[in-house]
Structure 1
Amino acid sequence: MSEFSLGQRWLSETETDLGLGVVTAVDGRQVSVMFPSTGETRMYAKSDAPLARFVLNEGQEATHADQWRFIVTEAKEHQGLAIYFGERIDSGEDVMVPESQLAHQIDTNPALTRFIAGQADRHDLYLLRMQGLKQLARWQQSPVAGLLGARVNLLPHQCYVASTVANRYHPRVMLADEVGLGKTIEAGMIIKRQHVTGRSQRILIAVPDSLRHQWLVEMKRRFALDFSVFDEARIREAQLDSDNPFSTEQLVIINNKILHDEQWHEALMGAEFDMLVVDEAHHLNDNTPGYEHFAQLAKAIPGLLLLTATPEQEGNEGHFKRLQLLDPDRFNDFNAFEEEQTHYRELADKANDLSGEALDELLDEHGTGRVMFRNRRQNVGGFPARHFHPVKLPEPEDDMREPWWLGDPRLTWLTDHIKSNRDDKTLLICHSAKMVNELAEALRVIEGINAAVFHEGMSLLERDRAAEFFADDDNGSPILLCSEIGSEGRNFQFVHQLVLFDLPENPDLLEQRIGRLDRIGQTHDIQIYLPYTEDSDEGILLPWYHTMNAFEQCNPVGRRMYDEFAQPIKKSLLSCQPLPKDLLEQSAVLHQQLMSEVEAGRDKLQELNACRPQQAESVISAIEETSDTEHLNEFMTTFWGRFGVDTEELDETRTFVKPSEHMRVEAIPGLNEDGMTVTFDRTTALNYEDAEFLSWDHPHVQEALDIVTQQDFGSVCVTKLNNKALPEGAWFMEVDFSAHINAPTSAVAQEFFPLQNHRILLDGQGRELTSKVPRDALTKQADFMDKKTSRQILKQLRDVTKSHLEKARESADAWLVEHAACVRKQLTDSLGKELQRLTKLKQRNPSVRESEIEALQARQRTLLEALEQPQLSLFAVRILVNHH
C-alpha cells in the first residue's frame, strides 16, 4: 500500500505533532494531505514526500474517531484502503473500522503493541528513551529554544534584540544597528527561534543579488538552517511541480528585485509566507519601479524584518516610509511623525532619572521603540581603533596618457604599498566595477600581481572564488579590489588594511566601506589609507570629511550632513575648486550640533530600548544554562553508540561521526552520509568552521530526540533487579504515559504544555508504589536480561500485566484532567497578563498593533480549546524481576 489513494491515512515523518493525515488529492507529481486535528494541509512531491503510511497490525490498539478504543484482530485491504476488524476494549464487541474512521490523533509510540507481542529492548535503550523525553520536554518549554546553537559569541545587544523580537507573534521591526554590530546575526537568531518553535514556518529572505549566496551560507553555517536560493531558473523549474513555485520550499532566499517583479507578484502573495526578511532595506523607496507590489506583499505577510545600518540614508521621509511598511496604521502622517521627534529630548532627560520597571514602562511607551532597534557602536564597545593615513601625492605630469593608470601616481603608491605589506592582506574599495577591472589589469601588467576582484558584474560563484583566493594565506592574493556595491554586506574582519582609491560624496557610504573591516570580531586596529592629489575630487572632499572626524570614528549623522551641504559640494567638484572656508566652518559647527542632539535626544531612548543590559544578561544566562553541554554530550554519545553511528575522537572537543552499516535506522537526518566533525563547545565551533556545532536546537540532535521519543525504541524493557531484601521472583511494573495537546504549530502549544511524562509504579499485586520508590533507585539496582528470557517473562505475565496496565491508565487519565486544569490556569494568567499589558500600552503607544493583540487572543482561544481534549499515550513499560 505504498501508492497514494484518496482517503488513505499517512503520518508526516518531520511533523509528527500534526497527527494522522488523510489524502485529499492526488494530482500529477503532487499529493495533498490534510491533517484534521490541526486543520492544516500540506502539499508534497510524490517522489520524495516525507510521509509514512499508517497501517495497524494485528494485536495493536487503536482509537476510533468517536474516541472508543479497540484491539485489531485482522487487517484487510480494499481498493488501496485498509479495513480493520477487532474487539472493542470497553465492551468486548466485534467491530469493523475503515481507516477513514480512525481518530485523527493517534498513538505514534506503539508501546502497547510491542508489549502484547512480547517484544522487549535492552535496558540501555529504555534509559536513553527516558533521558530523551526529559531533555525534549525541557527544551520545548525553554524561553531560549532556538537561540542555543547560533555559532556566535553571545553578545548582550544581539541576544537582547533576538530574544525580544523572536518572542513576539508576527514581529514587524527594523533592525538598524550601526555598521558592524551584526544585524545578520540578530536576524538569523530571530529566524531560528521563530522557525523551531513554530511561530514562523514559511520564511522568505530578500537580499541584493550580491548577497544571496552569503545569506545562504550564513544561515547554514551559523544557524543550521537549510534555505533554498530561488533565481529565475529555479522558479521556473519549481513551476513544473506546483502551480505556485514558492510553495515548493519552506525556507526561501530571493533577489530583492523579485519583490518588485510583476510576473511573480501573484505567486508571492499566494505563497502564504509567515515572515519576510529584507536586507539593505535603505534601498527601498517608492521611486523604485514595482515598489507598490513590494508594499502589498509586506502588508500581506504577517512578520516583517527590515535590515539597514543607515535607516535615514534616503532622508527622514524615506525613513518614515520604511516605518510605514512595518505599520501603516501607526505611521500614517509624516508631519505628525516629525512633530513627535521634537518631544523625545524631554523623555530622554526623564529616562536618566529612572530605573527598573519605571524605565521599562517609559521605553515601552517610546514611539518607535517597539518597531526599531538601533544599537550604537560606542555603547556596545569592543571595537578596534581606526588610524587614518592620508597620502598626498604629486599631481600627474601628463593626465592624457592611455590607459589612464600609466600616469596616475596613486597606482605607483599602491604597488609600493602591496610590496611592503605582503604579509598583511589589503582591501581596496573604489566606486565602480569598471575601475576595479582596470586596476586589476594595471597591477597585472605593471607588477605581475594577480589581484582578487569583487564587483556586482560577477556571478555568485565568481565572487565566492575571489573571496577564497583572497583569504588563502599561502597562495592567495595580497589584495582584494572591490566596487562600492560589490563590497556591500560582506565582512572582511580578518583584514585590517583598507585603501580608499576614491571617496564617495555621501558620508554614509564612507562608513559602510570602513564597516567592512571595522566590525565585532576584528582583532587589530584598522589602518585606513587614502592616496590622493590636491586638485582631485578626494583632495576637495577631504577637508569636509575632517570636519566630521569621519575616518577615525563612526558618523551617525552623515546623511543629515550630506543633505545640508550636497549642493555646494557638487558645485565645487564640478568646477574643481576647493570647498569654501566658511562652508567648512559651518560644517564643523553643524556636525557638533547634530552630534549633541543625538546624545541628548531621541537616539538615546532608542539605544536604551535596543539593549537593556539586565534583560540581556538574563537571556545569556538562560542560553548557557539550557545549553547544558554535559548532558547533551552524554545523550548524543549514548545515542550514537546505541544506533550504530561510528565515532572517532579527534581531540578534547571534536569528534568525527559517520553512519555505519549496522545502524538501527536507515538514515538519520542531519548526519552527513560521508560523516562530519562535530563539537559541543562554542569556542571550538567559532575556531573550526568545518565542525558542526551541536546544540539541543541542531537538526541532528532534534532528529535523535525524535527517534528515541516518537518511535518505539526502548518502549518495552525487562530487566533483572538485584535486591536481597526482596523475595526471589518479586516483580514490579513501571509504566510511563506521555501527554500532549493538539493545536496548530503556530500556537506554540509546547511552551505551556511540553511533552509531559507521568510515571506509575505497581508491584506484582497491583499496589501503587510510585511515591515510595523513585525511578533512579530502581535503575541503580537494575541489570541486563537477555532477549529470550525477557520474552518468556512477558508471555508469562501477559494477563496480569494487561490488568495492571488498565489500572495505570485510569490513574493516568485522572492525573491528566488535573494537570490540564493547572496548565489552563497558568496559560490564562500568563497570556492574560501580556494581553493586559499590550492593551494598556496601546492607549499610550500606538506602535502596538491591533493585529498583535488579536493574534495573542487567538492563541489563547486555540490553546484553551486544545486543553479540553489533552491526549494520553503509553510511552514506556519497564518490568523489573528480582533475582539474587
Structure 2
Amino acid sequence: MSKDSEHTYVAGQRWLSETELEQGLGLLTQVEGRMLTVLFPATEELRHYAIQQAPLARYRLLPDDRGQHADGWFFRVTEVETKAGVLHYHGVREDTDEKVTLPETQLAAQVATQHPLTRILAGKTDRLDMYRLRQQAQQHLQHWQQSSVAGLLGARAQLLPHQLYIAHTVADRFQPRVLLADEVGLGKTIEAGLILQRRLLSGRSQRVVVIVPDSLCHQWLVELKRRFALAFSLFDEERCEQTLHEYDNVFSAEQLVVVPQSLLQSATWQAQLAAADFDLLIVDEAHRIAPQTSHFAQLQQLCGAIPAVLLLTATPEQAGLEGHFARLQLLDPDRFHSFDDFVAEQESYQQLSPLAEVLARVGADKLLDRVLDHYGTGRLMFRNSRAHVGGFPERQCQPAPLETDNDEFTSKANWLHNLLRQHKPEKFILICRSALTVQELYDYLRVQHGVHAAVFHEGMSLLERDRAAEFFASPEDGCPVLLCSEIGSEGRNFQFAHHLVLFDLPEHPDLLEQRIGRLDRLGQNQDVQIHVPYVADSRDAYLFQWYQQMQAFAAPNAVGAMLYNEFSEQLQPYLSGDYHDELGFEELLEATAERAGQLREQIRQGRDRLQELNAYRPHQAQAILDAITSDERPQQLRDFMHNFWARFGLDYDELNADSGWLRPTEHMRVQLPGLPDEGLTVTFSRDYALANEQVEFLSWDHPQVQHALELLSTDSFGSTCVALIQNRALPAGSWFVELTFSSQLTAPAHLVAQEFYPQQAIRVLLDSQGRDLTSRVQANAFDKQLQFIDKKQSRALLQQLRQTIQQHIQSAWQPAETQQQALIAQAAERLEQRMAAAQQRLQQLQQRNPAVRQSEVDALNSRQQQLTAALRQPMLQLDSVRIVVNSPA
C-alpha cells in the first residue's frame, strides 16, 4: 500500500516512517527526481529519502474510522475521495455533528503510534513469543480482576482464617469505620495491612495515612514493605518542614503516609492532615490517645474529615468503659451519643448470647446472622480471643520469691544472672517500667557478671532500637537477654523467644497483658515461661498475689481492666506501703477472685461472646481461604514471570527449588518497580518467604507482577505479529488476520467495576476473504500450529497485504461489538442479582441494627446506578493484530 511501485508520490500526502514511528504523521512536501522530502510537524524534523529505499508507509483512513483535525477536533469518516493523488476525507464532526470535508494535509500530526493498526501500516511487528506473552497477560489480568480475593493473595503472612475473615468483611465495605480489637498477639497489624492492600489494589482507597506511636514508625514502614510490598513515606516534623517549601499542603506530596502520634500536637500539621483529602485513616495503639485530651480532640477532627477509619487496640477498655465508648464515638458519633444508653445496651446482649452460641455450634449461619444483626457494635468492632481462635501454646508462670539482706534491685539482678546461666543458650526478654532501670541493670550485669545485654528503651533512636533488636535476635553472635523498658511491650514482636522476665510488675492488668503478648502471640511454638522475681512485702509481691487471683499469668485477661477499676483504690495502700491491716489484703484477694469469676461468666454469656462469634465465622472464613488457595496459582505465576523476564532483558538464576536471583541487565526494555541495581532474591512460595524474610515474595498482588500485567495490557509490546502456518489442507499463500479487542468499563476507580466486568479480551479471526472464522477455529488449536517468522519476511508480507488488512480490521469491529454485547448482558445480569441481594441484606440489617449508616445504603444504590450507566457505554479498543500466512513445507 505504500511503495512507489504501488503509488505515485505527491506533495501533500501523509506518510508514516517505518523506522521512526515516534515522529508521528509526516507530510510529503517535495518530490524532486529520485528524492523525497518529508516534514514531521509533531517533532519539526525534516527527512530526505531516496524513492527506491524510502522506509515510508502510506497513511489512509477508511470509512467509519475516527480522524483528528490539526486544530484538535475529531471526525468520523463517511467517504474517501482521491484528488490529484491526495486523499480528501468526507465525514461528520463529533462535537457539532456538522458535515466536514478536509484534505489529508489538515490531519493532526499526532497519531496513536502505539495503536496496532498504525504499527501494522508502518510494518512494525513483534516476535511470536511476545505476542503470546501479551495474550497470557490479558488472561491473567482478567482472572485476577474478577477474583473474590484479589488483594488478599500477596501478604507475607500465614493464611489464618480469623484474619482473612475480618479483612475480607471490612475491606469491601463502603467507607468502613471499625475498631480492630483482637487480643494481644492475634495479628491486628496484619489484618489492617490486608484490608489496606485489598482496598488499594481494588481502587476503593487511593490516599492513606497511618498514625502510630513515635516508637513504632519505623517498624510500621518496614512491616508494610516486607509483608505487603507497600512503600509508605514517613512524615515526621523534619520531613514536613522540608516539604513545606514545595507544597501548600505537605501531605499532598505522597499518596501513602505514616505519621507519628506526636505530630498531632502541632496545629499546623494537624490542620493540613485534616485538609489533605486522605480517604483511609489507620490509627495504631488507639488506646494510648486518652479521651478528654488535646490529642483525642485532634484525632476526633481527623476521624470526622476522613471517610474510612481503622482504629487498632488490643485493650479497648483499658481506660474504662467510658474510654471505649469515646473511641466508638470517633467511628460513629450519631450512633453512640449517650453513654447511659450504651451501657444499658451492652447489658442487654446477655439475652442473645445463649441462642447465638447454639446456632454457631450447629452451623446455622443464616439464623446466626439474624441474631448477630441485633448486636449494636457488631459492625463497628471486631475482637477475637485466643480461646475462640485456638492453636496457642500454654503460659507457665515461674514465680521467684527472693529473700534479701541487700536492696531489692541487687537481689533481682543476681537472681537474673543465675537464671541466664541455668538456661544457656536460650534467649530472654526482660521488661520493666523505666529506661533508668534498664540502664542500671545493663551496667550491673556487664560490670558485676560480664554479661553483655541488648537494651531497648525510649531514650534511644529508632535506628538504635532496631539494631538492638537485631543484635538480640541473631542466633550466631547475639546476646542472651534483651532489656526493655515499658516501650518494649507495645508493637514489637519477639515470639522467637519463649522466656519472659517481668523484672517489676505494671500496675494495670492490661499493661501486664501487653508485656506477655510480646511472646505469647501468633508464631510462638513453645510454651511461654513467665519469670516473676519479687521480694517479700514489696510492691511487686502484692501485685503478684493480686494478679494471681484474676489468673492474669495463666491466660489472656479479659476482665483485668474492669477489676482494676473496681479495686485499684483498695490496692493502692499496699503498693505504696501505707497499709495498716494485712488482713485487709487477704479480703481484697478473695473479693478479686470472686469478682473475676463473676465477670468471666458475664463475658461468657454476654457481649464478648457475641463479639467473638461476629468477628470470626469459620464457614465463611474457610470459603475465603479456599478461594485464595485456588487463585494463588503459583506455578502459572512462575511460568508467566519467567517468560516476562526473559522477554524484557532480566536475568534469573535459580538458587534452589524455591528461589532465584533476579537482576537487571543492560538489555532491559523497561524499569521494574523495587528492583535494585544489584538485583534481589525472589520466591513464589509463601512458606519459603515466611522462613526467609530477606527474600521477596512474588504473588499476583505484588507491584512487579501488577506492573508486568499492566505493561502487556496497555503498552504496545506484543500488539502486532506475523506468523507462519504450515498446513497442507490450505492453499499456499492463503492468510488470516487474528484480532484481539479490549473491552472495559469507564468508571471511577472506587466503584470497582472490574468485579462485575473485568477487562475482556475479545477475539475475531478472519480469513483472506474477510469471512469470520472465530467460532470455527479455536484459539489454542490455531496457536499451536504457528511458527516464528523473521522481521524481514514479516515486513515484506505486510507491504503486500496492508490495504486489505486495513479493510479486514475495519470489518472486524462488527463481530467484536456483537461479542461485547453478549458479555455486557451477562455482566448486567450479575450486577442486578448481586446488588439486589446486597441491598436486601443491608436494608434488613439496618432495620435491626442502628449501627448501619444510611450512607452505606445510599452508596450501594449509587454504585449500582453508576455501574449500570457504565455498562451502557463500554469502551471497545483494538488491542492486538496477528497476521498468519500459510506456507506448506
TM class, shorter-length? 0.7 to 0.9
Which whole-Å CA distance do the structure 1 matches of 2:75 and 2:614 have between them?
54
**Sequence identity of aligned pairs in percent?**
50
Contact preservation (8 Å) 2:289, 2:295: no
* Counterpart among 745, 763, 768 of residue 741 in structure 1: 745
Alignment correspondent of 1:367? 376
Out of 205, 215, 219, the position equivalent to 2:220 is 215
Task: Note the C-alpha offset of 1:687.
Answer: 0.7
Structure 2 CA distance for partners of 1:98 and 1:562, relative to 1, 3 Å: farther
Deviation track 1:643-677 (CA, whole Å, cap 9, x = no partner) reads 11011000001011111111223x12232222111
Please state how far the C-alpha of 1:488 moved relative to its aligned partner.
1.0
Is 1:639 aligned to 2:644, yes or no? yes
Q: Does the Cα contact within 8 Å between 2:275 and 2:305 map onto a contact in 1?
A: no
Which residue number in structure 2 is paired with residue 459 of structure 1?
Answer: 461
Query: Kindly tell me: are residues 359 and 544 of structure 1, through their superposed partners in 2, closer, same or farther at Cα, counting changes over 3 Å?
Result: same
1:449 and 2:451 are equivalent in the alignment? yes
- Which of 689, 695, 713 is residue 693 of structure 2 equivalent to? 689
Secondary structure of the residue aligned to 2:604 is helix
* Equivalent residue letter for 1:702: Q
Secondary structure of 2:723 counterpart:
strand
Residues 808/558 of structure 1: CA separation in 2 closer, same or farther (3 Å cut):
same
1:380-436 alpha-carbon deviations (Å, 9 max, x no partner): 112111111111111234x4xxxx84xx21111111122232311110000111111
CA contact (8 A) 1:216 1:229 kept: yes
1:77-88 alignment, distance < 5 Å:
none
Is residue 2:389 matched to residue 1:380?
Answer: yes
CA pair 533-576 structure 1, distance change in 2 beyond 3 A = farther
Residue 723 of structure 2, aligned match among 719, 739, 745: 719
AA aligned to 2:435 is A
CA change 1:139–1:680 in 2 (3 A) is: same
Q: 1:777 to 1:544 in 2, by over 3 A?
A: same
CA distance 1:750–1:68, change in 2 (3 Å): farther
CA separation of 1:95/1:862 partners in 2, compared to 1, >3 Å: closer, same or farther? farther
Cα RMSD (Å): 2.2
Q: Does 1:709 align with 2:705?
A: no
Q: Does the CA contact (< 8 Å) of 1:88 and 1:95 recur in 2?
A: no
Q: Is residue 2:489 matched to residue 1:500?
A: no
Q: Distance in 2 between matches of 1:706 and 1:190?
A: 23
Matched, 1:392 2:401: yes
Which whole-Å CA distance do the structure 2 matches of 1:224 and 1:568 have between them? 50
Q: Distance in 2 between matches of 1:454 and 1:392?
A: 26
SS at 2:352's partner residue?
helix
TM-score w.r.t. length of structure 1: 0.88
Q: Indicate the residue corresponding to 2:668 in structure 1.
A: 663
Q: Identify which range, 691-700 or 416-425, moves more after superposition.
A: 416-425
Label 1:89 to 1:758 Cα distance change in 2 as closer, same or farther (>3 A).
farther
User: Relative to 1, partners in 2 of residues 1:643 and 1:548: Cα closer, same or farther, differing over 3 Å?
Assistant: same
Distance across 2 between alignment mates of 1:108 and 1:174? 51
Partner residue, 1:94: 103
Q: Which amino acid aligns with 1:495?
A: A
Closer, same or farther: CA 599–723 of 1 in aligned 2, 3 Å: same
Residue aligning to 1:319: 324
Matching residue of 1:430: 432
Question: Is it true that 1:808 corresponds to 2:817 in the alignment?
Answer: no
- 8 Å contact kept, 1:392–1:532: yes
CA 1:63–1:478 in 2, change beyond 3 Å: closer, same or farther?
A: farther
Supply the AA of the counterpart residue of 1:342: E
Q: CA deviation at 1:836?
A: 2.7
Partner of 1:305: 310
SS in 2 for 1:572: helix
Describe the SS at the equivalent of 1:342. Answer: helix
Question: Which amino acid counterpart does residue 529 of structure 1 have in structure 2?
Answer: H
Tell me the secondary structure at the aligned position of residue 672 of structure 1.
coil
SS at match of 2:387: helix
Alignment match, 1:226: 231
8 A contact 2:682–2:696 mirrored in 1: yes
Q: Distance in 1 between matches of 2:820 and 2:779?
A: 20
- Give secondary structure in 1 for the equivalent of 2:750: helix
Q: 1:139 aligns with which of 138, 144, 166?
A: 144
* Counterpart pick for 2:250 among 241, 245, 249: 245
Question: Which structure 2 segments of 5+ residues have no match?
Answer: 1-57, 81-86, 93-99
Shift of 1:66: 7.3
Residue number in structure 2 paired with 1:827: 831
CA deviation after TM superposition for structure 1 residue 725, in Å: 1.8
Say whether the 8 Å CA contact 1:132–1:709 is kept in structure 2: yes
**Counterparts of 1:232 and 1:198, CA distance in 2:** 30
Mapped contact 1:261–1:290 kept (Cα < 8 A): no
The whole-number CA distance in structure 2 between the counterparts of 1:95 and 1:272 is 47
2:550 corresponds, among 548, 563, 568, to: 548
Q: Kindly state the Cα deviation for residue 575 of structure 1 after the two structures are TM-superposed.
A: 2.5
- The more displaced of 354-363 and 681-690 is 354-363
Residue 883 of structure 1, CA deviation? 1.4
Q: State whether residues 443 and 449 of structure 1, in contact with CA within 8 Å, keep that contact through their aligned partners in structure 2.
A: yes
1:352 to 338, 357, 365: 357
Paired residue secondary structure (1:163): helix
Q: Retained in 1: the 8 A contact 2:726–2:886? A: yes
Contact 1:108 1:710 in 2 (8 A): no
Shift in Å at residue 126 of structure 1?
A: 0.6
Matches within 5 A, 1:777-816: 777-816=781-820
TM-score, scaled to structure 2: 0.87
Distance 1:282 1:482, change over 3 A: same
Relative to structure 1, the CA distance from residue 97 to residue 392 in structure 2 (aligned partners, 3 Å threshold; closer, same or farther) is farther
Residues in 2 aligned to 1:628 and 1:364: alpha-carbon distance in whole angstroms: 36
| Per-residue deviation, 1:97 | 8.0
C-alpha distance after superposition, 1:180-231 (max 9, x if no partner)? 0000000000000011111011000000001100100000000000000111
Q: Is the 8 A contact 1:391 1:529 kept in 2?
A: yes
Q: Is the Cα–Cα contact under 8 Å of residues 376 and 850 in structure 2 kept in the other structure? A: yes
- Partners in 2 of 1:160 and 1:98 — Cα distance? 57
Q: Which residue of 2 aligns with 1:773?
A: 777
> What per-residue deviation string (whole Å, max 9, x for no partner) do you get for residues 518-563 of structure 1?
0110111111111111121111112211111211211111100111
1:580 is paired with a residue whose SS is helix
SS at match of 2:497: coil
Deviation for aligned residue 1:864: 2.6
1:376, distance to aligned residue in structure 2 (A): 0.5
Q: Is the 8 A contact 2:59 2:121 kept in 1?
A: no
Distance 1:229 1:177 in 2: 26
Aligned twin of 1:654: 659
Q: Of 162, 167, 178, which residue of structure 1 is paired with 2:167?
A: 162
Select the residue among 276, 287, 290 that pairs with 1:271: 276
Is this contact kept in 2: 1:59–1:117, CA < 8 A? no
Q: Deviations over 1:606-662 (max 9, x none)?
A: 111101001101111111111111110110010011111011000001011111111
What per-residue deviation string (whole Å, max 9, x for no partner) do you get for residues 289-321 of structure 1? 242222011011010000000111111111011
Q: Distance in 2 between matches of 1:516 and 1:594?
A: 25
SS of the residue corresponding to residue 661 of structure 2 reads strand
Contact 1:68-1:88 within 8 A present in 2 as well? no
Distance, in Å, in 2 between the alignment partners of 1:284 and 1:704 is: 43
Check whether the contact 2:539–2:577 (CA below 8 A) recurs between aligned residues: no
> Structure 1 counterpart of 2:806, which letter?
K
Q: Which amino acid aligns with 1:611?
A: Y
Amino acid at match of 2:187: G
Q: Is the 8 A contact 2:489 2:517 kept in 1?
A: no
C-alpha offsets along residues 232-268 of structure 1, whole Å, 9 cap, x if unaligned? 0001111122100001000000112323531212211
Q: Deviations over 1:689-730 (max 9, x none)?
A: 111100010000011111111111111111111222222222
Corresponding pairs, count: 804
Output the CA distance in 2 between the equivalents of 1:70 and 1:558.
Answer: 78
